Amino acid sequence: MPDATLTKAIDDIMRDFVSPQGPGVAVLIGRGDRVLVRKAYGLADVEQKQSLVPENRFIIGSVTKQFVGMCVMMLKHGGLLDYDDPVSRFLPGFPEWSDRVTVRQLLQHTSGIPEYLTQEFWEEVNARDEDIDRGTLLNRMRSYEQLDFEPGSNWRYSNSNYILLDAIIEKASGRTFAQFVKEKVFQPLEMEDTFAGETRARPAGMAIGYEFNTKDKTFKEAPYNRAVVGWADGNIISTVDDMVKWVQAQSSDKLLPLAKLSQAFVPWNPVNPYVTRYGFGLIMGERRGIREIHHSGSTLGYNALLSRFPDEQLCVILLSNAAGIGLDRILGAIAGLMLGDKMQPLVPAVLPEEHYSEKLGRFRTQPWDRRLEIEVEWPQGNSPGLKAVMLANDQPLAEFDLLPLSRDLFLADRQTDSYVEFIRDYDGRVCGCLLKSVGRVSRLNKIALEKNR
């Protein structure tokens, strides 16, 4: 039975994020085998003024990837593949890199295969009269002669990895990903309202997806086609009720022996603090000292976030038909409400001026990544800390204040538990920084000299 007092507190949080006249969010919070909160906010169909309900279906986007990880683990358990098998074993006709890229590297985004899901891709598919198919995508990947980096040497999120895994699952099992995941996962867990989408057809109970403009807080109905549904990189359609069954199965032996299942939760490079802690479709992180296993997902019109705090036996499931509504901030507010008294305190540090001035300048991601930059500046007036302006491909993305917690660690956003940690060269000079948020890490190198105040 949902907790009425907690539900009222969640109502207060959601009021800041969801308009009763716009698309919204379905929320489920569970602890162990109990459902504490189960409620939906906003509209499933804005034009028809149809309220969103917990039973509505949503595309969960890249939250799908952890289901792909489970399917691959099942195939490994059944002796049909090995994690270190090369791509070429299953998919002939690819460039020579297919002999070096392994199934494990696809799962963990360490293959170096370029991202197919670019802005140019979306413009192309939305301009087409007919749907694109997986074969077209595989042919596109066959044209990639060069990798972004040597397989296994680095990490970069790329949906191309999971398009290849879609085809590998089919080759190894003799069934499509949709068939395999239905038979091996959805049916055993009685996830009756969940399936992997294979067409542009809207299923019964599907909330209509909307694009959210963060500048003027307006919505418009998003395109809906085969590419929006996606493939095994993000094509599962589900409900909050079915997703909590999936969360509970991740800490049980319903699908695999726990020793086999544990492979999903091993980060690709567990001892390196400078890289994202990514396993098999999951990110392993900490939120101010509390372990958190999570993944988000988005496509045109839909947004999803699944987060689990295993030591607290707590999960938060957020499914939205408003892309860009900010589920990470909603999660942060919910986590603060429920776990704030157990989180490590944030104690501001007092630094001399030279410890601020050494960090001024511009920082940029590695050449093979999308060009993300941060301009670190003095704040206006006498505000403590520093100011950071984030840019993506030269376009302003966000501004935030940097509050010092130590000489090199600064809090960027309390609600999303985001930090900027400055790093130094052998001479002790600031040469870069890390953007860190619950196990996700981006490294930026310093490219500009300090500015005078």
Q: Which residues are catalytic?
A: 62
| Sheet strands (E) in 329-394 | 361-365, 372-377, 386-392
338's tokens: 């429920």
Paired strand residues for 50? 45
Between CA 102 and CA 104 the distance in angstroms is 5
Between CA 225 and CA 239 the distance in angstroms is 20
| Sheet strands (E) in 158-270 | 195-196, 210-213, 218-221, 236-238
| Sheet strands (E) in 168-313 | 195-196, 210-213, 218-221, 236-238, 283-287, 290-299, 302-309
**End-to-end C-alpha distance for the chain, whole angstroms:** 58
In this structure, are residues 295 and 63 in contact, taking their beta carbons and an 8 Å threshold? yes
145's tokens: 């002669």
3-12 contacts: CB < 8 A, separation 24 or more?
Answer: 3/36, 3/37, 6/36, 6/37, 6/338, 7/37, 7/39, 9/337, 10/37, 10/39, 10/334, 10/337, 11/39
In this structure, are residues 18 and 47 in contact, taking their beta carbons and an 8 Å threshold? no
Place of tokens 């660690």: 409
Residues contacting 406, CB < 8 A, separation 6+? 349
Q: What is 66-125 written as a DSSP string? A: HHHHHHHHHHHHTTS--TT-BGGGT-TTS-GGGGT-BHHHHHHT-S-PPPS--HHHHHHH
152's tokens: 């296994």
Between CA 127 and CA 137 the distance in angstroms is 16
Between CA 436 and CA 412 the distance in angstroms is 9
Residues recorded for the chain: 453
Task: Count other C-beta atoms under 10 Å from residue 32's C-beta.
Answer: 12
Q: What is the DSSP letter of 452?
A: P
